[in-house]
Structure 1
Amino acid sequence: MGFLEFLSALFGWVYTLSWSLSFYPQPILNFRRKSTSGTTVDFPFINTLGFLAYLIYNVIFYSSQSIRDQYALRNHGHTPSVAINDVVFAAHAMVVCAVLTTQYFFPSIWGFERAPGTRPSRLMLGVASGSLIGVAIIIFVVLSAPPDADPRTSWAWLDVIYTVSYIKLLITVVKYVPQLVYNFRNHSTKGWSIWQILLDVLGGLLSIAQLVLDSWLQGDWSGVTGNPAKFALGNVSMLYDVVFMTQHYVLYRDDGTAKDGERDSLLESGEDRRRLD
């Protein structure tokens, strides 16, 4: 293994670790505060669907020979730039997001009192239902194509997988909006963990770096253009991360919360104990 190959693998596993860790600060913060107040269910709810789509996309691109063959036909014989760490990351993210969602839908089993924002908004319900309908339409189109159709020029199962990946892209574009609006209305980021954002930035940078490096090693940039989900995922997420960091450290830095995003519950608990004393 050459140095660049080693660097690509290192980037892949470090971004996987960083993004994977980014899913833990929010459920931990909720658990410490015994509340989901300050956040909405929209983010974990739609994120679960998004990572389910991303898992399907990665698993099939990584393991299905027929899909890989169709990809090669459209991309000068090159194979998809999906690695095993992409599969591991997507599976882990889906599970943790699903667990986080239960803190909103079933607060009693966590010992929480029901807080505002535990019902998905119409926007997120519309995105979820529209995504499922979109995939169903593309499947119908592919099934309607002639059996001997050339996958290079005709609809093929590869297009279904691309559609699934676009669900993840769509969800990435809209999933942060409700929380951004919620923070804006409250003029506060209390309850929203900044650590998930900081880890997400690191993961996004390394994800894109690995994708570009892999394309460089292949000598063909179809590794980027042929894998739009991974490339756009990192860029869009980081744009939102910058906005969240601006809210947390600049716009609402004097909202009275602890700015490491994790000490709120400890400080509040200390204040409560002093009041009792």
Structure 2
Amino acid sequence: MGFLEVLSALFGVTYTAAWSVSFYPQPMLNFGRKSTSGTTVDFPLINCLGFTAYLVSNMAFYYSPLIRAQYAARYKGLTPTVQFNDIAFAAHGLLLSAVTASQYFYYRAWGFAPSPGNKPSRFILGIFFGCVVGVVAVLFIVLGSPERDSTHEAVSSWVWLDAIYAISYVKLIVTLIKYTPQVIVNHRNRSTKGWSILQILLDFSGGILSIAQLGVDSYLQHDWSGVTGNPVKFALGNVSMIYDLIFMIQHYVLYRGADGKPAECDSLLGADEERRID
């Protein structure tokens, strides 16, 4: 194994560790405060959908001979750049997102005080169900294609690879919007109180290393379609880091030391539209 192969493996292990550990600070902070105030369920809820899609697509790219063969036919004989650490990360992310979401939906079981942020916004619910409908529509198109199991027609016809791409794009869509509700909440509260900055710092570090690993892998294959053929992984690092920078500016510059408003607006709902907590 050459130096670059070792470097790629090291990047993979390190970014998986950084991203995996980043899931712990928020639920631990919520548990320590006995409250989810200052945050919203939108983030962990949509994360559950995103990591479910990411896990399914990664497993298909890694384990399915048919998907790998169709990928090779479409991308000049190359193999997917998905590695086992991507699968491990997706499974762990799904589990921790579900645990965090349970703190909002089952706050009484956790011994938490009720918070307006325990109810998902219409924006996130719309994205959630829109993604599900989109994937189902693509599955029906693929099922109706006579060449769906073909490797020779993978370039020009609808095949199972397209269904896997549709599922993987759910994670891409989720990544593009999942932090938006929390950015708005922090802006309305003029504070980042309740939102863990440690998870953001870990996520930022993981994003840099993820892009570095993808670049090394593509260089080793002497073809940058390793990036274009795996747009979700490439976008994960870039988009997440942009949001991370926004959160860092909010925490360390705009609202540094701020404790928030006396009555925090913990959800995307306006103050006159907040749902009553039973």
> TM-score when scaled to structure 2?
0.91
Q: Counterparts of 1:147 and 1:44 in 2: how far apart (Å)?
A: 38
**Aligned counterpart, 1:215:** 218
**Aligned counterpart, 1:49:** 49
**Aligned counterpart, 1:203:** 206
Q: Alignment partner of 1:117: what SS?
A: helix
Q: Counterparts of 2:219 and 2:140 in 1: how far apart (Å)?
A: 37
Q: Counterparts of 1:124 and 1:115 in 2: how far apart (Å)?
A: 18
Residue 151 of structure 1: how far off its partner (Å): 1.6
Are the equivalent residues in 1 in contact too, given 2:147–2:157 (CA < 8 A)?
no
**Aligned counterpart, 1:271:** none
Residue 116 of structure 1: how far off its partner (Å): 1.6
**Aligned counterpart, 1:262:** none
**Aligned counterpart, 1:162:** 165
**Structure 2 residue ranges without an equivalent (≥5):** 261-278
Computed over aligned residues only, the root mean square deviation of the Cα atoms, in angstroms, reads 1.0
Aligned pair partner of 2:186 in 180, 183, 201: 183
Say yes or no: does 1:115 pair with 2:115. yes
**Aligned counterpart, 1:27:** 27
> Counterparts in 2 of 1:22-101, with a 5 A limit?
22-101=22-101
Residue 256 of structure 1: how far off its partner (Å): 4.1
Kindly provide the CA deviation profile for residues 118-172 of structure 1, in whole angstroms up to 9, marking residues without a partner as x: 0111111111101010011101111111247612110111011111111001011
Are the equivalent residues in 1 in contact too, given 2:43–2:179 (CA < 8 A)?
yes
Q: Counterparts of 1:254 and 1:108 in 2: how far apart (Å)?
A: 30
> Counterparts in 2 of 1:122-137, with a 5 A limit?
122-137=122-137
**Aligned counterpart, 2:268:** none
**Aligned counterpart, 2:230:** 227
2:113 is matched by which residue type in structure 1? Answer: E
Kindly provide the CA deviation profile for residues 195-245 of structure 1, in whole angstroms up to 9, marking residues without a partner as x: 000000000000000000000001111110000000011100000000000
> TM-score when scaled to structure 1?
0.91
Q: Counterparts of 1:147 and 1:248 in 2: how far apart (Å)?
A: 52
Kindly provide the CA deviation profile for residues 167-191 of structure 1, in whole angstroms up to 9, marking residues without a partner as x: 0010111111111000000100000
1:93 is matched by which residue type in structure 2? Answer: G
**Aligned counterpart, 1:238:** 241
Q: Give the % identical residues.
A: 61
1:203 is matched by which residue type in structure 2? Answer: G
Q: Counterparts of 2:154 and 2:140 in 1: how far apart (Å)?
A: 16
Kindly provide the CA deviation profile for residues 44-99 of structure 1, in whole angstroms up to 9, marking residues without a partner as x: 00001100100001011000000000000010100000000000000000000000
2:47 is matched by which residue type in structure 1? Answer: N
Q: Identify the structure with the greater helix proportion.
A: 1
Residue 113 of structure 1: how far off its partner (Å): 1.3
